[in-house]
Amino acid sequence: METARMETVPTRFLDHRKPIAFAHRGGASHFPENSWRAFEHAVKLGYAYLETDTHATSDGVLVAFHDKTLDRVTDRSGAIASMPAKQVAEARIAGTEPIPLVEDLLGAWPDMRFNLDVKDGPAARPLAEVIRRTAAWDRVCITSFSATRLRATRRLLDRPVCMAASPVGAAALRSGLPRRLLAPAFARRSVRCAQIPIGLATGPLIARAHDAGLVVHVWTVNEAAQMSSLLDLGVDGIMTDQTELLRQVMIDRGQWHPRAGESV
């Protein structure tokens, strides 16, 4: 068991009215994934939460990018971790869009919340430094497919931030362990949410997560029928590439809650 080095103080990341709509990779169905245009589109739609991914360059600059390499979605190739920031900055997503820096995204929209997926070990320290510099303690939630990366990031932080359950934590929920064991363990790690794929989003699992003190966010949901079905099950948030579609589904259900100052 990990010994927490920080007080378990709730953060305000999840204080928005539920259910929460997340723009996955900015809303990758409308503009190139993790591009400024995608994020800007979601912001204009009234989204309060943006989801993106983090990698660090060889000189420790944190970029919002999904893959370890530039090959799949840019006009360049090579591993991000092996390149300096100046070289990565020359790449263009879909041949036209620059790769955003996480710090620039946080600065561009100071009222937005960001769900940040730590995709590689070297990103942990730069991420902690960015959160510290921007004082984004209440504006970020950290997630990862790696318990090791989550633990490394948490240990580098001076204050608690919202954390998503690791794959180990999600497995513990699926196992049916009692609340008296799960809830304190999650609280010690500042784990506030379970972020799960569609295939795991069942009524019993959602109920177990809620009983353990967690909210449930489901990814990546791009069909209207699935969106409605999950909302009927009581999920607390949906991540989608289809930002316009999710917005409309939630408007039709009376569940669209744009960020402060925005209207339907």
Question: What distances in angstroms separate CA 200 from CA 9, 220, 238, one per listed residue?
Answer: 29, 12, 13
Tokens linked to 17? 């009215």
Residue 26 falls within a domain, yes or no?
yes
Tens digits of per-residue pLDDT, 36-93?
999 999 999 999 999 999 999 999 999 999 999 999 999 999 999 999 999 999 999 9
How many domains does the chain contain in total?
A: 1
Task: Give the model's pLDDT for residue 4.
Answer: 40
Longest dimension (CA), the chain: 52
Residue 200 falls within a domain, yes or no?
yes
Domain CATH for 207: 3.20.20.190
Instruction: Reply yes or no on whether the pLDDT at 223 is more than 90.
Output: yes
Residue 32 falls within a domain, yes or no?
yes
- What distance in Å separates the CA atoms of residue 259 and residue 56, rounded to the nearest whole number? 30
Question: What distances in angstroms separate CA 144 from CA 39, 119, 120, one per listed residue?
Answer: 21, 7, 9
pTM: predicted TM-score of the whole model, two decimal places:
0.94
210: annotated active-site residue = no
DSSP H or E run through 249: helix 243-252
Nearest to 185 by CA among 151, 212, 145: 212
- What distance in Å separates the CA atoms of residue 26 and residue 30, rounded to the nearest whole number? 9
Task: Give the model's pLDDT for residue 11.
Answer: 80
pLDDT band at 1 (very low <50, low <70, confident <90, very high): very low
Residue 205 falls within a domain, yes or no?
yes
- Residue 28 domain boundaries: 20-57+102-252
Mean pLDDT of 215-222: 98
pLDDT band at 260 (very low <50, low <70, confident <90, very high): confident
Residue 153 falls within a domain, yes or no?
yes
Residue 90 falls within a domain, yes or no?
no
Nearest to 131 by CA among 108, 148, 156: 156
Q: Which member of 30, 41, 55, 66 is catalytic?
A: 66
Count the alpha carbons within 13 Å of 215 in the hemisphere toward its beta carbon.
18
Sign of the torsion formed by the C-alpha atoms of 206, 207, 211 and 215: positive
Mean pLDDT of 213-223: 98
What is the length of the chain?
264
Mean pLDDT of 152-179: 95
Residue 260 falls within a domain, yes or no?
no
30: annotated active-site residue = no
Tens digits of per-residue pLDDT, 120-156?
999 999 999 999 999 999 999 999 999 999 999 999 9
Q: What percent of the chain stands above pLDDT 90? A: 92
Residue 70 falls within a domain, yes or no?
no
- What distance in Å separates the CA atoms of residue 37 and residue 230, rounded to the nearest whole number? 28
